[in-house]
Amino acid sequence: MGRGSLSSKSNNINLVYIRAAIEAATGVKLTQEQVRQYLLEEGLISPYQYKHHATEFRGYSEYYDHAEAVRPGQEGGEIEVQDVPECLRERVRGTGVQGN
């Protein structure tokens, strides 16, 4: 698999997204486990999906086959000033961020 490509876990149910939609519509904050249980109880997912595709979110690393992201300034995370648009360079001036 190439850098940044999705793994085969594309059938997973995004509990974080569903939880956020429920909260936006109702104001009710649920845990991921509560969302899983409600989806199952309401027949919106099968027991198989509950067990295999509606697991709690543990980060993006299981979905991508490349190393963790790096921040600018960390090894491998350098950004060349010439790659930054001038309008952004104007905003950075005076913030203490150093450029090349």
Number of domains in the chain: 1
Q: Tens-digit pLDDT profile for the chain (100 aa)?
A: 444 444 445 688 889 999 999 999 999 999 999 999 999 999 999 999 999 888 877 666 665 666 555 555 556 555 555 666 777 767 766 665 555 4
Interatomic CA distance for residues 71 and 59, integer angstroms: 17
- For residue 65, give every residue at least 6 positions away whose Cβ sits within 8 Å of its Cβ, in sequence order, or none: 1, 2, 3, 5, 7
Nearest to 15 by CA among 38, 39, 35, 42: 35
Interatomic CA distance for residues 6 and 2, integer angstroms: 9
Instruction: Record the pTM.
Output: 0.51
The range of the structural domain enclosing residue 58 comes to 1-66
Q: Is residue 27 part of a domain?
A: yes
Q: Is residue 87 part of a domain?
A: no
Q: Is residue 46 part of a domain?
A: yes
Q: Is residue 51 part of a domain?
A: yes
Q: Is residue 47 part of a domain?
A: yes
Q: Is residue 73 part of a domain?
A: no
Q: Is residue 32 part of a domain?
A: yes
- Stated as kind and residue range, the H or E segment containing 91 is helix 86-92
Q: Is residue 36 part of a domain?
A: yes
